[in-house]
Structure 1
């Protein structure tokens, strides 16, 4: 069951009301609305949306026990997205009309695209027909609301909108409780374990435990201990992850050992270089988050390690005992749940800024009860504590403890109840921002500005009048999620961030059908299972991306995000090629796109039809071989972000760049 659906819908409706309120009273749209006799319709929509919003909290609670309420919420979500698209159409027409009237410098090609849009909008998608359809659907939703008996909760009990300062908990992010003896045990194995038998090879120490227990944290504590740094001449850290790629692992290992980027992609060359570097040296290698239990793959991977000193060691962290059995040369270290007392200290530290409840004795009993329900998992403890940070009201804590989510049936769902709760009680403005990050694969490292620009482009961040810039507001949202442990800083680069595997699973869970990663939707027959409800999508860029890969996108009538991602970061030296049919045919059918990223592809030009993507806010052509941009690009009056960084072949920009009146960020 998707516990996040109702809350995401609530935020969409709230955003719609804000958009309606701002756009209807803006001189530009007001003039357009009066000219087209739309003003009364907009007011009617506002009234209906307010009625719907008043019952959302009741619907949110009832969805767990009434499947018809859940169906109603899904229909409401689809309706909300469609209203946004129609409003965006209105805004586009008004903006282009105003620009056409005021500007004397618009070139003929831009004018042609403006008129082309008017023809399409006026005749193919008549305003009257769209308004009539939306109004009928809204009235149907209101009637269903009444039939379901949903009740209004004006000024409901849950406070969702309050934002807090996000940076305070970062000071304590690195604090670890209750793992000192575990750390000493592993270090003892590293420094004094030579007597244990190992048949002609490097000793491998597996650390095994379920997700969220802190295996990676324990390995990091060991890796950075002064005794370990002194004992081992060379140290290297590699995050292996679910997708086992021996070339990537070897390349990352070589770069970690040499502290230099490598341009090699041949396995033999990489292994020769690694072997040279390790030869006769005492080294420690950490292979973090290993899933592959194939013995032959492990034998291929370990061959360069034999060149090191006999005292060398490898630490492997994994959730799977078969992996430990395949790779380990000593019995695996089974990481246990954290003790209750240490969990309580961890919880108090992140929730109250202290390791005890001395300053908040009224919260001690309820806090202890919440910690007990986390069952010794540090990730669950820390995430729930982040949710309650700076909240010192007893009833807020009691609501978390008594939530129905703890008792939901776990059939076909591996998401920890504590993590569901951490999402469920997030402030509403953060919910869809977090769910959108389900587009990123596990272990994908992202930068703050990259994510913030995407959030802005898809309409998750609105700029209140008289307040800070949307980019600053987006940065606050990002750091808020970081401080609540939904994001974590990369161990490789301080400028990059990532999500824990279980948090990534949570993001996919709450995003439901709205977001999808193409590679995750392949069935046993090699066919893609894609819902028509999809709004945001991502896919891993491959060396040769043929048209068959993109056929599922023809089902997505209202796709807003088309996001190409690298196989791993960085992969700047890999040349990737994209079928021309994406440009010739597919793009023209994705008329609702707001985000288009083709970064890293060997493309030299864009088709003229790019100017027909009237909703587009974000265009990333970085690291492509683009030579020039078509003049039609300048018809994109909503375009906010244009990334042309590392486009070494780019010779000129369109003459009409000044007509990109919404452009905030241009990177060349």
Structure 2
């Protein structure tokens, strides 16, 4: 009982301390503001520096005194309770022997793993030796902290599987099983390209394309969900895999492995004491045993036994003692009282609690703040350090310039103690283990709060975070209004890959944030907010402000300039921002200003020379006739990181460039010099002198020069004294006559040359006078848009230098005048891409490590084969005029590649030569694309037609696309024997008349036929000429724009068929019986009957019927009741569904209706008395010409509706009332002219119904979207 009373008293004391700190900060802010005002008036010499206001002489002082009296009263109330509880004062931090430490580093990740060799080999055997489809999913099961992820990572990076699986992907699933997010994460792990699509179908199609016909390995880390339906949806893109593909799943729950259909699950056991001791030793001493410190071994063994075989506990405990060899310090840890806590007293593992308990005070604060990070959420080091700074956790630094370095030290220290860890699939990101996250939440108590599910926030919470969704509505923030003392408001995202526009309810901006006067850190990142209210200027204690990735805002409120305490101001990616606040020189404490990607900024109106604390200034824009402002950089001696100076054409006096003193800014690492892309009337001599004046520090690492108009660069560009330079970009310097001599720069890794239209020859000048030992580090070389480049002259260059010994990627694009050939021996080259170089000859031979080859629009390819048989993965030949063969190619054995594309290469596909046959002897692809091949008549070969162009398809092909082959007449029966071919796409083959089952591969699962205008019939029935033991396994059928198609099958569709889409096939008159899950009909005017017994198709989930005016059979028996998505176009279908079937669709999530009822005045019609299904989350209404209102009665049950779209209803004027749209997150109204006026912000009669919705578009003309919130 007393223990709980003490805990409650300490919480009250902590909250009082927070309140005191708020008042002191408020008081200090006012003092600083007044002193600044006096300085600006030139009167600081006549008045005291710290002009502490006399009590009661103004409203501010009266308010402060009132707060102080209130705090004093609360403090007095705590005193008798302290005496009653017999508490006494002690030093705030007891002496500790743990302080002396080696400097930690963030690179200390899992380099040593003990006790998992057998587990690793078991998983590797399942991956490499078992092609049993029942082992497609391999679960690793075990308790939290036992090392499931570590084992999966060991296997994922093992050398034995690197060439066995491609592609590989890693996705963190977590307890929130979001299929869209997980699918995007897998896709982005494969492509390394951010995916901004939010349509699951589109994303899954993209993923399926990446995986189709490939042997892939995917790791799904930290899976909790046991819902079979969710797993079924997630694995849809995996259907067209080839045998041997695998998925590794890490989970704490054996039920997950059953749900995923795994044959066996590998259970991970606790480590032995010996292995656990090795883990502990590795993290405590950097060695696997105690040979160097035998006196510590006995204490270590006792501590390790307390870890109970859990690797995470041993690792964290070892990290606590890292590099400390004081026996007494180890004994202090061993004897800690925290070990004695029972499981009833704490759910946190004691070893982890001990690790926290013995942290220095400054690290405790930083670690506790990390409780705002949701589980499995990835975060950047820089982001966390800036937030720590805003909370005042880095005050031990000597001055502002050292604060950030101290933050890096603290962060690296937490990494070295294993409290933070590097993300598995992205080394620039970090995560917290779930158990460490629990520990942080436990020690933070009510101070840190994450919005999750329906939890209620404490009024004493100080830091708030949440995962931002695409639409964040008012319900998400219910209960937050009570927490008036918040210091952090922080929306986050799970992964750095997921960058998409987000929308926030207006109530947060108008009702919530203005009342949070204690905020130190405010982020509205990625929210598309057109106008920020002036309340921001009232948040006087704000030190961190993040409006990044807002693509719609044009200007910021001037009140931002009054934020005296502001240290970090992030506007990255605000691509529509035109101006900054005009008095930013008042932000004297500003250290970080990031305006990267704010391309429309017209200048810097403020006097930046007064912002002497600036350390990061991403961009400095010189406005028209404001070139002299470049001098303001002179006083910014602390600049570090990156700096882009644009608008350099506005500098009239070259001496102004010298006065910027870039050479003195030794911590600048990345410099971009940018002139205007408009070249007429430019002054070349001035620009040359300006560039001379911008000579940077010799420590510069990256240099980019854009739109420079001179014929010569400054002498310092390429000077060998710049020996730290790693990247050089010359972009659209169109008058430049030659390239700088950069070959002797020892660390240069990347060179990009683009748009140098006056350069005709690239040769020895690039290497320098002495060409030996040049480009020793170069890895990436790009030449783009070099219109007049004629020759790459390497004959005068040393033979060894021509090899570019470390070059991995070479790109040459749109160099139409380039003649001759390119380097023919590049020993390290992995990726070669040459596009639109119509005169260039490419010889393919001496690239032993080449893995990706792309040649598009070139004169000639001389194919000499590949030295190595295993490295090449992808080949693409498009638009090649001449294809030559070397005789030795005929002796090469076939190379297995993942994908092979041939397009518009008539000579390669010519019937006069055997080029195709020779090529398929040398290359065996899994993914094959053939396009624009006019001579092609048949896919597959037939003896009786040898005189015509026929393509023999390699037996290795798994996925094949044939498009725009206008003479293609048929698919040969020989295709049936291609047992591996599972996906076939035919498009733009106008002479193709019919496709029969005997013409299709025996194991085909996906068939798509598009724009084959003469196709008349598709017969998938089992015919006599097909082996009866080989039944059709087709699962997806897609037929679009086949205007002559009349028939599909004779009687029934294959029972395996799950998805059917038919669009723009006007002559098709019906469908046979089916067992579909998805059925889509669009623009098929002749269709009269859908499959019989539609109402009994219990598997059908998605039904779409649009543009089919003659469909009537659906009216008689009704529609399946298990539908989740229904799309209807036309009154012939909608009216009976509305009257008879709608109330039966209890699973319906999405409803799309167009051209529903031409006479309807309300929706749903009031006279019918129908209510929409309560399960609806998405509703789309279009083309109701007489519709005036959305019925309140019909909408009364829609408590889950989140998305509402209304289009082309010209008479609509009323939305449902009585708060019936409270759950709505997105509202789009287009082509409804009356609604534009009625929904006007704060004025229209409908505004109150929609003011809470995060994303609203109302446009009467149906032409331009108008955002009103």
Give the TM-score normalised by the residue count of structure 2: 0.44
Q: Which residue of 2 aligns with 1:587?
A: 513
User: 1:467, CA displacement in angstroms?
Assistant: 9.2
What do the CA deviations read for 1:243-299 (whole angstroms, capped 9, x no partner)?
Answer: 111112222222223333334332222222322332332222211111111111111
* SS of match in other structure, 2:173: strand
* SS of match in other structure, 1:240: strand
Q: Identify unmatched segments of 5+ residues in structure 2.
A: 44-52, 596-1269
2: CA distance between counterparts of 1:157 and 1:472? Answer: 26
The answer on whether the counterparts of 1:351 and 1:386 sit within 8 Å (CA) in structure 2 is yes
1:555-634 mapped onto 2 (5 Å cutoff): 555-566=482-493, 568-572=495-499, 574-624=500-550, 625-634=552-561
Question: Alignment partner for residue 548 of structure 1, among 475, 478, 483?
Answer: 475
* SS of match in other structure, 2:239: helix
Q: Which residue of 2 aligns with 1:273?
A: 206
1:134 aligns with 2:60: no
The answer on whether the counterparts of 1:576 and 1:602 sit within 8 Å (CA) in structure 2 is yes
1:74 aligns with 2:1: no
What do the CA deviations read for 1:589-637 (whole angstroms, capped 9, x no partner)?
Answer: 1111111100000112221121111111110000013211111111111
The answer on whether the counterparts of 1:439 and 1:516 sit within 8 Å (CA) in structure 2 is yes
Q: Which residue of 2 aligns with 1:97?
A: 34
Q: Greater strand percent: which structure?
A: 2
1:358 aligns with 2:291: yes
What count of residue pairs does the alignment treat as equivalent? 583
User: 1:212, CA displacement in angstroms?
Assistant: 0.5
**More displaced 10-residue stretch of structure 1: 632-641 or 138-147:** 138-147
Quick one: structure 1 residues 651 and 168, their matched pair in 2 at CA, closer, same or farther if it must change by over 3 Å? closer
The answer on whether the counterparts of 2:105 and 2:415 sit within 8 Å (CA) in structure 1 is no
What do the CA deviations read for 1:323-358 (whole angstroms, capped 9, x no partner)?
Answer: 011114221000111121111111111111221122
2: CA distance between counterparts of 1:292 and 1:552? Answer: 28
Q: Which residue of 2 aligns with 1:381?
A: 314
1:517 aligns with 2:447: no
1:287-436 mapped onto 2 (5 Å cutoff): 287-411=220-344, 413-436=346-369
What do the CA deviations read for 1:63-108 (whole angstroms, capped 9, x no partner)?
Answer: x9722222221111011101101101110111111112221499xx
1: CA distance between counterparts of 2:441 and 2:106? Answer: 25
User: 1:466, CA displacement in angstroms?
Assistant: 6.5
Quick one: structure 1 residues 119 and 91, their matched pair in 2 at CA, closer, same or farther if it must change by over 3 Å? same
Quick one: structure 1 residues 354 and 455, their matched pair in 2 at CA, closer, same or farther if it must change by over 3 Å? same
* SS of match in other structure, 1:638: coil
The answer on whether the counterparts of 2:100 and 2:324 sit within 8 Å (CA) in structure 1 is no
Q: Which residue of 1 aligns with 2:60?
A: 121
1:264 aligns with 2:197: yes
Quick one: structure 1 residues 361 and 472, their matched pair in 2 at CA, closer, same or farther if it must change by over 3 Å? same
User: 1:129, CA displacement in angstroms?
Assistant: 2.5
2: CA distance between counterparts of 1:645 and 1:105? Answer: 35
User: 1:156, CA displacement in angstroms?
Assistant: 7.3
Question: Alignment partner for residue 88 of structure 1, among 25, 37, 40?
Answer: 25
* SS of match in other structure, 1:569: coil
User: 1:542, CA displacement in angstroms?
Assistant: 2.1
Quick one: structure 1 residues 163 and 544, their matched pair in 2 at CA, closer, same or farther if it must change by over 3 Å? farther
Q: Which residue of 2 aligns with 1:191?
A: 128
Computed over aligned residues only, the root mean square deviation of the Cα atoms, in angstroms, reads: 2.4
1: CA distance between counterparts of 2:152 and 2:109? Answer: 19
Q: Greater helix percent: which structure?
A: 1
**More displaced 10-residue stretch of structure 1: 378-387 or 546-555:** 546-555
* SS of match in other structure, 2:220: strand
The answer on whether the counterparts of 1:165 and 1:480 sit within 8 Å (CA) in structure 2 is no
* SS of match in other structure, 1:397: helix
Quick one: structure 1 residues 655 and 561, their matched pair in 2 at CA, closer, same or farther if it must change by over 3 Å? same
Quick one: structure 1 residues 662 and 455, their matched pair in 2 at CA, closer, same or farther if it must change by over 3 Å? same
User: 1:168, CA displacement in angstroms?
Assistant: 5.3
The answer on whether the counterparts of 1:164 and 1:480 sit within 8 Å (CA) in structure 2 is no
* SS of match in other structure, 1:286: strand
User: 1:562, CA displacement in angstroms?
Assistant: 0.8
Q: Which residue of 2 aligns with 1:51?
A: none
Quick one: structure 1 residues 440 and 172, their matched pair in 2 at CA, closer, same or farther if it must change by over 3 Å? closer
Quick one: structure 1 residues 494 and 584, their matched pair in 2 at CA, closer, same or farther if it must change by over 3 Å? same
2: CA distance between counterparts of 1:428 and 1:529? Answer: 29
Question: Alignment partner for residue 113 of structure 2, among 176, 181, 201?
Answer: 176
Quick one: structure 1 residues 152 and 362, their matched pair in 2 at CA, closer, same or farther if it must change by over 3 Å? farther
Quick one: structure 1 residues 239 and 665, their matched pair in 2 at CA, closer, same or farther if it must change by over 3 Å? same
1:149 aligns with 2:49: no
Report the structure number with the largest CA radius of gyration: 2
Q: Which residue of 2 aligns with 1:536?
A: 463
Q: Identify unmatched segments of 5+ residues in structure 1.
A: 1-63, 107-113, 523-527
The answer on whether the counterparts of 2:140 and 2:148 sit within 8 Å (CA) in structure 1 is yes
Quick one: structure 1 residues 174 and 641, their matched pair in 2 at CA, closer, same or farther if it must change by over 3 Å? same
Quick one: structure 1 residues 248 and 73, their matched pair in 2 at CA, closer, same or farther if it must change by over 3 Å? same
The answer on whether the counterparts of 2:185 and 2:497 sit within 8 Å (CA) in structure 1 is no
2: CA distance between counterparts of 1:134 and 1:490? Answer: 44
The answer on whether the counterparts of 1:160 and 1:425 sit within 8 Å (CA) in structure 2 is no
What do the CA deviations read for 1:386-437 (whole angstroms, capped 9, x no partner)?
Answer: 0011222222212222222122122274311111111111111011211111
Quick one: structure 1 residues 466 and 262, their matched pair in 2 at CA, closer, same or farther if it must change by over 3 Å? closer
User: 1:159, CA displacement in angstroms?
Assistant: 1.5
2: CA distance between counterparts of 1:636 and 1:261? Answer: 35
User: 1:179, CA displacement in angstroms?
Assistant: 0.9
User: 1:138, CA displacement in angstroms?
Assistant: 3.1
The answer on whether the counterparts of 2:348 and 2:439 sit within 8 Å (CA) in structure 1 is yes
Quick one: structure 1 residues 555 and 332, their matched pair in 2 at CA, closer, same or farther if it must change by over 3 Å? same
Quick one: structure 1 residues 464 and 144, their matched pair in 2 at CA, closer, same or farther if it must change by over 3 Å? farther
Q: Which residue of 2 aligns with 1:503?
A: 436
The answer on whether the counterparts of 2:524 and 2:546 sit within 8 Å (CA) in structure 1 is yes
2: CA distance between counterparts of 1:281 and 1:161? Answer: 52
Quick one: structure 1 residues 581 and 394, their matched pair in 2 at CA, closer, same or farther if it must change by over 3 Å? same
User: 1:447, CA displacement in angstroms?
Assistant: 0.9
The answer on whether the counterparts of 2:101 and 2:322 sit within 8 Å (CA) in structure 1 is no
2: CA distance between counterparts of 1:536 and 1:253? Answer: 32
**More displaced 10-residue stretch of structure 1: 650-659 or 234-243:** 234-243
What do the CA deviations read for 1:162-214 (whole angstroms, capped 9, x no partner)?
Answer: 363442584464211111111111111111123x573xxx7111110001011
Quick one: structure 1 residues 104 and 478, their matched pair in 2 at CA, closer, same or farther if it must change by over 3 Å? same
The answer on whether the counterparts of 2:139 and 2:265 sit within 8 Å (CA) in structure 1 is yes
* SS of match in other structure, 2:163: helix
